[in-house]
Structure formats: C-alpha cells, structure tokens
Structure 1
Amino acid sequence: MTQPNPLTAEAIRAARVENPKMRDRDLADKLGISEAQLVAAHCGHGVTAIDPHMDGFMGAAASFGEVMALTRNEDCVIEKVGAYANYRYGPHASMVLNDDIDLRMFPAHWRYAYMVEKETEIGIRRSLQAFDEAGDAVHKIFLRDGADLAAWDKAKADLRLAEQAQTLTVEARQPDEPPRSAPDKLDILRKEWARMTDTHQFLRLTAKLKMNRLGAYRIAGAPFVRPLAVSAFNDMLEKVQAQGLEIMVFVGNRGCIEIHSGPIHTLKPMGPWQNVLDPGFNLHLRLDRIAEVWAVDKPTQRGPAVSVEAFNKDGGLILQVFGVGKEGRDCRPAWGELVAGLEGLTAEVEA
C-alpha cells in the first residue's frame, strides 16, 4: 500500500515556516506525512534530490572531510564524528569501517536521497540525507565547520537528479515484527546455538527455525539468555561509565546500523532521555520506551560474545551493547562480570 502526500508542497513549506524550530521528524508526524515527503517538498528551496545509490552518496561523504554521522530509530539516536574512509559496497550489505565511523548499510532500503541546505541562527547547515521506502530516515551526514564546500558543490552537481519532484508517494511503514517463537524447535535452537562460532550465524539460525531474535530469546533459557529488569539497561550504562569500560554500541534501523566503540565519559539524563554527550560521540535513548532487556551469550571462535539488548513494546530492537574484544584492549572479562551483576527479571517473560 502506498502513501501519497496528503498536503501540497506549498502547504508543507508553509508549515515549516510556522514551526521553524521543530525537528523534521516531529513536524512530519504532526502533518501526517513521512520525513522524506517533508524534505522533498523543499526541492528548489534549499533541497536537491540526488541519486540514492550508495556509491555516489558515500563518495560525496568521503570528499567533505570531518562530518557528523547520524542514525536513529523511533527510540534511540546515535551520532559519531569522523571521516567516511574505507567504504565497501555490497548489493545486500555495505559498510564504512574505520576507527570513528563504523556503519553496516543495506542498499535495498536506500530509496530516496537529498542534499539539504537549511538556514539556521548560526548560518547554513548542510546535510546528506537518505530515506527508505516508507520515507523514514535511514542515515544522515552533517557537515561541520571547516568542511570542503567546493566538494559539496561538486557533489550536488554530479548527483543531482534530472527530476526535482516536490511530492513523493511512499510505501506504508512496516511495523516492528512481534516476537516469533517455535517452542517445538527449542531443542534444535539450543543445540545449534551452542555450536555457533560467529555472532552473525544467529539470525540465520533463527530464520531457519521460523523465529526471530526476541522470540528465540524468550524461549532459549540459561545459559544462553537471562531476562533483566528494564532498569538494568540504564544501570549498565552508569556502571560502564564508572568503570571506564570500552563497549560497542549498535543502533540501527532497516537501512543502516551505526556503531560506537569506546568508553562512555559523560551521561546526562534529561526527562525520559538518557544522553551520552562525549566529544565525537552522542547517544540519545528514550528509557521510557524500553519494554524488555536481555543479557545474551553467543559463542564465537574468540570466546563468548555477551550483550545487553533493549527492545520496545512492539518487539523492535532499540540497541545492543557488547564489550570491546580487540587485541590489546579486551574488556570482555570485566564486561561479562558487569553483565552478570545486573538485576534479573523476577517474573518470567511470556514466550
């Protein structure tokens, strides 16, 4: 089912003028449209529609120098500062992999892309923005002070689409998949889970057994998983900060997963949000949206990969946290002890 624009481009631009400080995502929700439809309405008014193919998008990003990379879902936002070096394309999965910017991207969900120049109180803010088939943002790249503006202008000329459509017909947003278990295959799940040698084998295993991630967690039991109190996720962040542990934080959506590797220095709660506000790394997490938290242990060739994972009320994965296991700075033993000490859930989770 497709979702045409219920408003004209002129009406959308007028709503933006009336709500100058509202975030695009929030204004789009208020207007009953997707964020991509909001942005598209501004083509010719500071917005340029560009080819969404990842090669051009990432090539442009690499030419700008140091930028800020942003990926979000409904409940969490991650922001990293760095350069887009070491991009590798794959038709099913692509990546950017360096010390600062670490992304896993899925080209099938990169449907629309724009270069955005927005007037702000401190000058023009420039960004590259990619959206999925439903018009939801999958990834954004914001230029920083000192960025190569000649490279920006060249990318805008090279990637510009011939048609600068101000209206979009997007597909209906796919809801989060609810937990899907197959209790009759529990023995197979546990047997093959114990044989895993890489964490990437897990989703292939659950797909083969007609389950999904959360559905498998709900039936697997010890020693593979342990349900935690909802408050345990924030407790974990506070202990990671206090102990100076290095962690890997994975935040994603259908089209992109962004990863931070390193410590947490500054935690600052604000209302329902818990925020990491560190140089080069920000995280904004809606603690009130967390409905389930799981401690998960997956075997690998390098030892157990222990994670703490948060899910929303619809079964959607909000974010995952692992201990860093790189040679010379292996925080996994201390991380494992931290996770083992987190408060468990007293009531059983319904499978």
Structure 2
Amino acid sequence: MTEVAAAPARAETGTPPSPETIRQALADSTQRPRDLAESLGIGEASLLAAQVDGDRVTRIDADPDSLLAAIPELGEVMGLTRNESVVSEINGVYGGYRRSERAGLVLNGRIDLRFFPSHWVHGFAVVAETKAGPRHSFQVFDAAGDAVHKIYLAKGADPAPWVALRDKLALEDQSRDLPVGPRDTVEPAQEAPEKAEALRAAWADLGDTHKFPAMCRTFGVNRLGAYRTVGAPHARKLEPASVGRLLNRLADTGTPSMIFVGNAGCIQIVSGPIGPIKEMGPWLNVLDDDFNLHLRGDHIAEVWVANKPSRRGPAVSVDFFDARGGLIAQMFGHRTSEVDHNAAWMKLVEEEIARCADEVPA
C-alpha cells in the first residue's frame, strides 16, 4: 500500500498558540487530545510538546534505528498505526528489524510493519494517567505533527525497561516549542482514459504486485485513477457498504485475511482470522484479544476489487477510499511467501461482486 488517507486540512488560525495557551486548553477541555489539537489548529505533536517536562512527556530521538530496533527489549507491547479514517492496534513482540535508506520493516509473528524513515520526525515518550493507572508509550509524528506510529507498554508490565529506553533516547533539546510544516494534500484520482488499452495490457503482464506503483507512474495515474481507468476484469467497483459486509463475512467464516492500515510514514499489516464486528455509531470495530480495528464506515466513498496477476497467482485486494481519493485501507486474503491466491477469500469477494452487480456498474 503506497497511498493513504491524510488528515483533513488544518484550519488556518494565524499564529500558532503558545505552549502556555495549549496547556491551559488541556486543563480546561474534556475533548480527546486528537480532537482538541484539531480545534486549536495544531498537530497532535504540538499538544505533546507543550507538556514536555522531562518526566510525563519527554522529547526523544524518532529515528527508527534508535527506537524501533530497541523495542524488543520491552517484550510484548501494543503497536498502533492510524490515518484519519481507521485505527489498527496489534499486540506482539517487535523484532526482525531491517532498514534501507527509503524504507524498512519490522517482522516478527503478529507484528508486521513497513516504515518510511523520512516521515519519522518528532518523537515523544509519554506517561498518561488513565483510570487503570499510568500508561507508558513512545509516539512518533511526521513533519506536520500528525501521528505516524505509537507503541504502548503492555498493561501491568514493569515500566523500568521503558524508563531506561526513554532516558537513552531523550534528546538534549527538551523545548516546548515545536516547528511543524504544512500537511501534505491528498492527491485526487489521476485517470488516463486515453491510455486505457495500454494500461490494461501492462496490468495483465504485471507479474509482481510490487511493480504496480512503477506501472502507475509510467502511465501518469495513481492507484484510484488506475482502477477507474482499467475497469473489469482487473478492477471492479463495489458499494461502500461492501466493506462492512466483507468484514462480517470474514468473521463469520473464520477466513484468514490481511488488513493493511497506514499513513505516509508507516503501514501496519495484521494477518489471520478476525472476531465479530461490533458497530458503534459510524464505527465498525474488531475487538479481539490481541487486535483492535476501528473503522469509520461513513468515510468510505469508493470501494474497488483489484486483481493483480503475479507469478504466485492472482493477488486480489479490496481497497477503499475516502471522498478525496485517499486510500483508507486494503484487505487481502491471507497470503504466504509461496502463494498469493486464497480460494476462501476469493469466494467471499466473488459473492460481494455478484451482490453489487445490479447496483454498481463494473
């Protein structure tokens, strides 16, 4: 997954509020920190920076080589990755850290991350008071101050290793002022109807799903634009409600899946079967023992089934986008290093395609 939904444009408020103003707003507000940050016209990172005290909130080195490589020392933790429309939380032990100049991965059992170091800009160690007691976390944000990835110490775990790592990662600069840049805008669908036949031919000859972004660049399209341009049989449009139905069918049948949730700096992949879906207002929730997913169903504007050929068989995903064209998340059938095709997943997808056939043009 290479394109993700960004947060909405931040309101223009002129001069950013001072750390003192932010702390007073925190004292007066009953809003969640993320919502308060939006109301103040700042990023969540600025909210934390205003609280830096060397104890409850500490500025740390956000470089993955410093942070992610050391997280295995903490044992089982909870990793959280989100964008504006979906939150993925998974419990596990970090490990298998690898990095290149532009990207890296953490792969160890349930923990499966792809990260992009240039977006790991601001880091904080946070001790938050909760009804269940103090909650220890490391939190990373991009240049605009929006969340990239958060790692929470397991409830009831000994905080001593966390404290030792915090102190090791603490920056000399513990200023409460945090310079941030503008948010990246979401690119709307870039279509190329005049290149449709050539794009279909290139798609059919793909051979490797990792070549998909390069193919899109060659034809001057992005992911959503490619789907709209090629159409069936490579890409078929579903209904927004298809996502909830497929999640429920995955739960009902026990079919293992892979759910990709990400932002510009991190993609979190959760593999395996999921439990029952619980709806709460606009939210679709998976509340398993070691995995929680919180999805804003009302943010889903377009849904596509994408069938990408590979040497290991067809890789079939359900990709869903917001109204601006930003990718919210992707679902695949569970894949292995040898096989991309998953017959049980394909059956569920084909059922949904048939259900939508009379209502949504192919």
TM-score (structure 1 length as normaliser): 0.94
How far the C-alpha of 1:209 sits from its partner, in A, is 1.3
**Using the alignment, how far apart are the partners of 1:235 and 1:107 within structure 2?**
35
Give the one of 13, 17, 32 matched to 1:23: 32
The farther-off stretch of 167-176 and 240-249 is 167-176
Residues 65 and 147, structure 1, Cα contact 8 Å, conserved in 2: no
The farther-off stretch of 286-295 and 173-182 is 173-182
Counterpart secondary structure, 1:308: strand
Give the one of 51, 69, 82 matched to 2:79: 69
Give the one of 49, 61, 64 matched to 1:40: 49
1:182 alignment counterpart: 192
2:135 alignment counterpart: 125
**Using the alignment, how far apart are the partners of 1:315 and 1:321 within structure 2?**
17
Give the one of 271, 283, 286 matched to 1:273: 283
Distance 1:187 1:330, change over 3 A: closer
1:136 alignment counterpart: 146
Residues 199 and 299, structure 1, Cα contact 8 Å, conserved in 2: yes
How far the C-alpha of 1:6 sits from its partner, in A, is 1.4
Query: CA deviation digits over 1:110-155, x for unaligned, max 9?
Result: 1110101112222211110000111100000011134342221221
How far the C-alpha of 1:330 sits from its partner, in A, is 8.2
Does residue 251 of the first structure (1) align with residue 251 of the second (2)? no
How far the C-alpha of 1:23 sits from its partner, in A, is 2.4
1:201 alignment counterpart: 211
1:105 alignment counterpart: 115
Counterpart secondary structure, 1:156: helix
How far the C-alpha of 1:276 sits from its partner, in A, is 0.3
Residues 5 and 168, structure 1, Cα contact 8 Å, conserved in 2: no
* Aligned-CA RMSD value: 1.9
2:272 alignment counterpart: 262
Query: CA deviation digits over 1:289-320, x for unaligned, max 9?
Result: 00000011001111001111110000000010
Residues 5 and 37, structure 1, Cα contact 8 Å, conserved in 2: no
Q: Could you tell me which amino acid in structure 1 is paired with residue 45 of structure 2?
A: A
How far the C-alpha of 1:248 sits from its partner, in A, is 0.2
Instruction: Count residues in correspondence.
Output: 347
How far the C-alpha of 1:156 sits from its partner, in A, is 1.6
**Using the alignment, how far apart are the partners of 2:164 and 2:15 within structure 1?**
31
Q: Could you tell me which amino acid in structure 1 is paired with residue 48 of structure 2?
A: V
Residues 283 and 297, structure 2, Cα contact 8 Å, conserved in 1: yes
The farther-off stretch of 328-337 and 199-208 is 328-337
Residues 252 and 276, structure 2, Cα contact 8 Å, conserved in 1: no
TM-score (structure 2 length as normaliser): 0.91
Residues 315 and 341, structure 2, Cα contact 8 Å, conserved in 1: no
**Using the alignment, how far apart are the partners of 2:209 and 2:109 within structure 1?**
21
**Percent identity over the alignment?**
47
Q: State how 1:196-345 maps to structure 2 within 5 Å.
A: 196-326=206-336, 332-342=342-352, 343-344=355-356
How far the C-alpha of 1:266 sits from its partner, in A, is 2.3
Distance 1:5 1:246, change over 3 A: farther
The farther-off stretch of 209-218 and 319-328 is 319-328
**Using the alignment, how far apart are the partners of 1:330 and 1:307 within structure 2?**
11
How far the C-alpha of 1:191 sits from its partner, in A, is 1.1
Give the one of 6, 23, 26 matched to 1:13: 23
Counterpart secondary structure, 2:278: coil
How far the C-alpha of 1:162 sits from its partner, in A, is 0.7
**Using the alignment, how far apart are the partners of 1:113 and 1:237 within structure 2?**
34
Does residue 51 of the first structure (1) align with residue 30 of the second (2)? no
**Using the alignment, how far apart are the partners of 2:156 and 2:95 within structure 1?**
18
